[in-house]
Amino acid sequence: MTDKETPVSALPADRPAFGRGPADGSGTAGLQVGLSEMLSALSHALDMTEGQPVGHTLRTCMIGMRLADELHITAAEREALYYALLLKDAGCSSNAARMAMLFGSPDQDVKYRMKLVDWHKSVRLAVHTMRTVGRGEPIWTRAAHFLRIARTPDMTRELIAIRCDRGAEIVRQIGFPEYTAAAVRSLDEHWNGQGYPDGLMGDAIPLLSRIALLAQTLEIYSHAQGMPAALDMAAARRGTWFDPQLVDRVTAWRRDLAWWHSLQVPDIADRVVASEPTNTPLSVDDAGLDRIAEAFAEIIDAKSPFTFRHSTNVARYARAVAEVTGCDVVEARRIYRAGLLHDIGKLGISNRILDKNGPLTPDERLEIERHPVYSQEILQRVEAFNDFATPAVLHHEKLDGSGYPWRRSGDTLDSAARILAVVDIYEALTADRPYRAGMPSHRALQIIHEE
């Protein structure tokens, strides 16, 4: 750290809005869940949105925290960095629709491929872009997408600014201090001032952002091309993308093969949780869990312009129906959380399918019908979500067994699943969409009654 940088200890003492202490409920009243455990599990959803392999965020976290240890940054900085690394992609869904439209390819594929090119090399970038646009389309369609991108001023800045601003806002919404949000917002700033969204240069870039960018890019290249290629990439971008001092640190890890191999172990999530940089881990209570679920509902709904506030509305409607039908407070809250996260699996579906203006092909329909399976894969990773994960993923099942994806029948669907199935359809019918106005409530209720 240079004299020009502001240490965390000199910043306002705003702390994350979470408790500290045992996360198993011992010595406390009510729910207490480890924050690191919850966010480590939910990082799987963000990896899906970014088109990254399972565990990308977790491996990035381990790389970043090793750098933090070697730099001997303060305890407050280490804590802020840890959570910034777990939430670095919180804004990733917000530019997915725009990216899929511009490139004419699945957004997850575009996001993955464009992270494997040096943006500062204009010729290589152009070639890489041409190979990425309109995948599977005729050559003239691909050329049209390429020309559209070339003629779109400040396209890269726009896409990254959308993502970075939204990511920082999500971090604040969950309850983290400004320093953590700033680390997420400046993730794509480059040492030479040619990054985004603000073109910060050198020490003007928050130290935690510099660490996160290097850690993220190392993980991506290491997983795709191997550790030697990743370190060669870092050395080649020393002083352009990356802080030279940080690159010098990581290049010294070349012979530490055992550590690099340790990033690929199946229990990487447990290792990340164990590495939480505090003697008193952060935990969340019922209100904190709601806040995290609400934040992820916004991440889900940002994926497509056609689903603005869909998850939030479904959750509100579901809780209201639960209360009217005599559910107690605990059950109503369970149904509310299920509504917030019922569509989290859609983060793994391409916007080329979600936003398609026209009938889906059979293969596209099958992919849409897999989103509850993806939801199940995500939610089952979070122990605190076990009590509502099942109704959340069953919201497209129907009493007669004609729903999807498991074709469950009425005798296997509890009241929570039935409530979510009804309010999901009701919200979809009554909400305004970019392509149509919402249906009047009486007409939507008539359709639901008929079914």
The pLDDT tens digits for 83-115 are 999 999 999 999 999 999 999 999 999 999 999
Tell me if the bond preceding 391 is cis, omega within 30° of 0: no
The reported pLDDT for the residue numbered 9 is 37
Report pLDDT for 33: 85
Q: In this model, does residue 19 exceed pLDDT 80?
A: no
- The amino acid sitting at 173 is Q
Query: Span 368-375, mean pLDDT?
Result: 96
List the catalytic residues: 346
Q: What percent of the chain has pLDDT over 70?
A: 93
Structure tokens at 337: 């959380």
Kindly state the average pLDDT of the residues 437-446. Answer: 90
Residues 309, 343: contact at Cβ < 8 Å? no
User: Taking the CA atoms of the chain, what radius of gyration do you get in angstroms?
Assistant: 23
The amino acid at 144: A
Give the pLDDT confidence of 382-392 residue by residue, as tens digits.
888 999 999 99
Q: What is the pTM of this model?
A: 0.92
How sure is the predictor about 8, in pLDDT bands with cuts at 50, 70 and 90? very low
* HEC secondary structure over 251-286: HCCCCCHHHHHHCCCCCHHHHHHHCCCCCCCEEECH
Order of strands, edge to edge, in the sheet holding 33-34? 19-20, 282-284, 33-34
422-434 pLDDT, tens per residue? 999 999 999 877 6
Beta strands in 267-413 (DSSP E): 282-284
From 148, 135, 154, 258, select the one nearest 198 (Cα to Cα): 154
Residue 328's Cα: distance from chain center in Å?
Answer: 32
pLDDT at position 434 is: 64
Task: Let me know: does 77 contact 68? Beta carbons within 8 Å.
Answer: yes
Confidence of residue 7 (pLDDT cuts 50, 70, 90): very low
- Other Cβ atoms within 10 Å of 363 Cβ, number: 9
* Cα–Cα dist 235/242, whole Å: 9
Q: Is the dihedral of CA 227, 230, 232, 238 positive or negative?
A: negative
Whether the pLDDT of residue 11 is over 80: the answer is: no
CA end-to-end distance (rounded Å), the chain = 64
The token pair that represents 24 in the structure block: 């198993």
Confidence of residue 5 (pLDDT cuts 50, 70, 90): very low
Contact 318, 419 (CB under 8 A): yes
What string of DSSP letters covers 369-389? TTHHHHHHHHHTT-GGGHHHH
Per-residue pLDDT, averaged over 235-248, amounts to 98
Average pLDDT on 309-336 reads: 96
- In the predicted model, what is the mean pLDDT of residues 131-150? 93
CA distance 222 to 225: 5
| pLDDT of the residue at 6 | 40
How much is the pLDDT for 335? 97
pLDDT reported for residue 357 = 84
